[in-house]
Amino acid sequence: MFWVRVVSFLIAFLLVQGASAATAEGKKRVRATITPAAAGIVVRGTPSKASKRATQKVPAAGRSSRNSAVAAARHKRHVAPSKVGRYARFSPRPHRMMPYEEEDPTNLSVRSAAALVIDLEQGQPVYEKNPGSVMPIASITKLMTAMVVLDAQLPLDQPITITDDDLDAMKGTRSRLPVGAVLTRRELLRLALMASENSAAAALGRSYPGGTPAFVAAMNRKAREVGTRSTYYVEPTGLSSSNVSTARDLGQIVRASYRYELIRDYSTTESYEVEIADGRERLFHNTNGLVRSGEWDIGVQKTGYISEAGRCLVMQVTIAAKPYIIVLLDAVGRYTRIADANRIKRWIEAHYAQRRRII
């Protein structure tokens, strides 16, 4: 009887151990079916804790396809994007990712809000973009300021003192000409055109016979004389957004200003040094980098910027041995107007090369 109990106990013990092993093996098989769910996912670098948790989550049976899609989308967020994907998503300038074909020089597309290119030999525009839109023109105003000063035939060597009245009370911009500095009208004219000095332009208007009001009236008369229709001035610097014009009108103003030798000379001066006080000298540079580049043949030019007007640029240039006028208004970004000018130059050169091959 004793042996029968021992044998029964051993048989029961063996049966219990076998069941436990089977259960453990079953659990292993269940875990093995979970592992392939994360297979094929490549994570660059050390996985984060969130990534590890995401690889362990498995949609329960019976969930809708929508929930599965949401779970999959959450899981994908932990996958490190490639450099190209990251650049395309966060780049503040998506135009830099444009394909090369869109920069084809034979297919001109400028970024400025308004643009005009005039072939002066034909006397006709060869490219227009919003040419009749009236908008602020900022320091392009100073071309008209220079024409009015020269038309008045005032003595260019007359000394003029910079006063508090010449400081910028509208925008609060600073001038490199201190109050009390004494410069000739000639020097003020050069600095207004090449360095876009607002105090110099204000002093030119203030020292005009009748003062600034008479000067502004003369500016508007001159605008009518050169054939503009939508141009209006309220002050001589361009700091006011009420100084407005159109790309088409500015083409007329650039054409008129080119007839003045001093405007051609002063607006294209690369740098100029003046004595401001007590023998101290100050060096000024041209605001148009194309003048200093050595790659452009520029006859007359003027840049402009205030927040309401964006960045503006007008030029009379020679490209492919032909004279052109280029007007660019309301360019967003520091280098957009320069990039647009270079696009126009390449476009003209490409068309000129095509004409030569045809001939």
User: Mean pLDDT across the chain, nearest whole number?
Assistant: 80
pLDDT at residue 13, rounded to an integer: 66
List, for residues 289-326, the tens digit of each pLDDT value: 999 888 999 999 999 999 999 999 999 999 999 999 99
pLDDT at 260: 98
Binning the chain into helix, strand and coil, the percentages to the nearest 5 are 45, 20, 35
- Per DSSP, what are the bridge partners of residue 304? 312
- 73-111 in b/e form (b: 16+ CB < 10 A) is eebeebeeeeeeeeeeeeeeeeeeeeeeeeeebeebebb
% residues pLDDT > 90 (the chain): 63
CA distance 323 to 339: 20
3-state SS, residue 135: strand
> What domains, with CATH codes, occur in the chain?
112-358 (3.40.710.10)
User: What is this structure's pTM?
Assistant: 0.71
Distance CA 206, CA 222 (A): 18
Active site residues: 139, 142, 196
Nearest alpha-carbon partner for 33 in 50, 11, 58, 9:
58
The band of 9, judged by pLDDT with boundaries at 50, 70 and 90, is low
pLDDT in tens, 258-296: 999 999 999 999 999 999 887 889 999 999 999 988 899
Query: Using an 8 Å Cβ cutoff, are 210 and 292 in contact?
Result: no
Give residue 245's pLDDT.
98
Q: What is the reported pLDDT for 171? A: 87
Count Cβ atoms within 10 A of the Cβ of residue 339 and give its class: 0-12 exposed, 13-18 middle, 19 or more buried.
middle
96-155 confidence digits (pLDDT tens): 333 333 456 678 999 999 999 999 999 999 999 999 999 999 999 999 999 999 999 999
CA 75 to chain centre: 38
Residues in contact with 61: Cβ distance below 8 Å, sequence separation at least 6, in sequence order:
none
**Quick one: pLDDT at residue 5?**
66
Residues 181 and 301 sit within 8 Å (Cβ to Cβ): no
Q: Is the pLDDT of residue 65 over 50?
A: no
CB 331 within 8 A of CB 247: no
Q: What is d(CA 125, CA 174) in angstroms, rounded to the nearest whole number?
A: 38
